[in-house]
Structure 1
Amino acid sequence: MVIVMKPGAREEDLREVIARVEALGYQPHVIRGTTRSVVAAVGDERGKARLQALEALPGVGSVVPILQPFKLASRETRPARTVVRVGSLEIGGERLHVMAGPCSVESEEQLLTVARAVREAEATILRGGAFKPRTSPYAFQGLAEDGLKLLAAAREATGLYVVTEVLNPRDLDLVARYADILQVGARNVQNFALLKEVGELRKPVLL
């Protein structure tokens, strides 16, 4: 359910709504807009009737159900376009940002050559794999932390931000230390243990 505050609702009205949502056993997510705020109440769908009663609270405009299964990502909860900030960049804003680079980081010379070409082509983000998922255990698996260090050096040399893939939850802190954006590849989009860990970090994520 979504509790839509009236335009100009007081901050204490919003705090009261949040407290009531929590008291009913729901997790409140506040989205502040330019004219009004919205509180998404995430939890057991069977308690909708209790949330509907919040419509009588001061400052509340309406209480409406979220019909989409992806509650926090739906346009019902967040009607405005989402803008993800990566350093000085705004992804999802007016400018198109291109991420480009080698499939895998193999050497300093290779990466710097590609990074300079990426910058000259006016892309803004360098992509390269330090960890590589391979079918064969004998194939090149990536340079791991050495590859991450090369990506960081390329960022320093070119000013490009860095995106690289994380494969394993145990490598998450290591990758986050070097990367500006964490990538979760096609093989891992149903690795829910990894996705939950990635979601806990305050880092942009590329799926």
Structure 2
Amino acid sequence: MIIVMKAESTKEDVAHVLKEIEKTGLKGVLLQGTNRNVIAVIGDERILPQDFWDVLPGVEKSVPILAPYKLASREGKDFNTIIHLPNGKTIGGEKIAVIAGPCAIESKEQIVEIAKRVKDAGATAIRGGAFKPRSNPYTFQGLMEEGLIHMAHARDVTGLPIVTEILTPEHVKLVSKYSDILQVGTRNMQNFLLLRAVGESGKPVILKRGMSATHDEFLLAAEYILSQNNPNVILCERGIRTFETFTRFTLSLSIVPVLKEMTHLPVIVDPSHGTGKRSLVNPMSKGAIAVGADGLIIETHPDPEKSFVDGPQTIDLDAFAQLMEELKPVARAVGREI
């Protein structure tokens, strides 16, 4: 259920409603809009009559929400969420965001060089893995805190916000100390303890779709983060597992317009993991923008053949700069800019 506040309602009215919600054993989450506030009621509100909230000061009406994801649904918030980054850039607005960088941080020199080059090409933020979840336990697992320190140095040099993956709830405090945006990877999409922990951090979170997750499961995972009073969630399509073996995964671009109908959260696409082939990064990036994606997250490296991780899906820095130029007319064609 959502409680729609009157346009002229005061902060005191909102605080009173939130207090009354707590008294009933439910949880209220404030969704601040441009014209009026909405409060989502979390829990089994069926214990109360439907008009229970309508008599409270400042309340215009209460409306049941049919979707199981109350906070992520457009039923509760009919305007798009925009994530504001420290460098003044946004994710979810009219301008398409591009996050770029290596799959893994290999050295300070490597990440600084990449950060400089992707910034020159127009990137919004830089990504890089310090903790690497690998299927093979004997492969490179990341530089860990040393990698985070290198990323922070690259931010100091370029001004670009940094994005890095987080693997466990225990790492939230450490990674939050360095990173501007936390990333939850596909294998952790339903790690509910981790989702709650990143939600409590208050940091923006990129949530990657699980490789076998349905649309509803994806949005319910986002709900875990949102329910911790953290509205800054970015959904990322990164491909799903199907019977096809030519590409690493099947990049389901149809999920972008579907999610746009279902949720107010920004949606970005990862064509690098979604295909596993660097030759497909360019066309799938263009396709993602054409179907309405709010951004891209792309793996790039000075010498992909020597990359410690995921070289076959990584493009070099010249190719990234060229891609950014080729994306501009595509963005203009759909009324956006990059």
- TM-score w.r.t. the length of structure 1 is 0.91
Q: Is the 8 A contact 1:126 1:162 kept in 2?
A: yes
Larger Rg: 1
Deviation at 1:10, TM superposition (A): 4.2
Partner of 1:133: 133
> Equivalents in 2 of 1:137, 1:31: separation in Å?
43
TM-aligned CA distance change 1:112 to 1:44, over 3 Å? same
Partner of 1:75: 74
Q: Is the 8 A contact 2:102 2:128 kept in 1?
A: yes
1:1-207 equivalences in 2 (<5 Å):
1-49=1-49, 51-87=50-86, 88-207=88-207
> Equivalents in 2 of 1:105, 1:148: separation in Å?
8
> Equivalents in 1 of 2:200, 2:69: separation in Å?
18
Q: Which stretch of the first structure deviates more once superposed, 172-181 or 52-61? A: 52-61
Q: Which stretch of the first structure deviates more once superposed, 30-39 or 117-126? A: 30-39
Q: Which has the higher contact order (CA 8 A, sep 6+)?
A: 2
TM-aligned CA distance change 1:10 to 1:157, over 3 Å? closer
Q: Deviations over 1:115-166 (max 9, x none)?
A: 1221121002010111111122221111111111111111111111100111
The aligned amino acid for 2:101 is: G
Which stretches of structure 1, 4 residues or more, deviate above 4 A after TM superposition? none
Deviation at 1:67, TM superposition (A): 1.0
Q: Deviations over 1:4-56 (max 9, x none)?
A: 1223234444344333322222212222333322222111143242x522223
Identity, in percent, stands at 50
Q: How many residues align?
A: 206
Gapped runs of 5+ residues in structure 2? 208-338
TM-aligned CA distance change 1:137 to 1:96, over 3 Å? same
Q: Is the 8 A contact 1:128 1:164 kept in 2?
A: yes
Q: Deviations over 1:66-95 (max 9, x none)?
A: 111111111122222111122122221222
TM-aligned CA distance change 1:100 to 1:65, over 3 Å? same
Q: Is the 8 A contact 2:172 2:201 kept in 1?
A: no
Gapped runs of 5+ residues in structure 1? none
TM-aligned CA distance change 1:142 to 1:67, over 3 Å? same
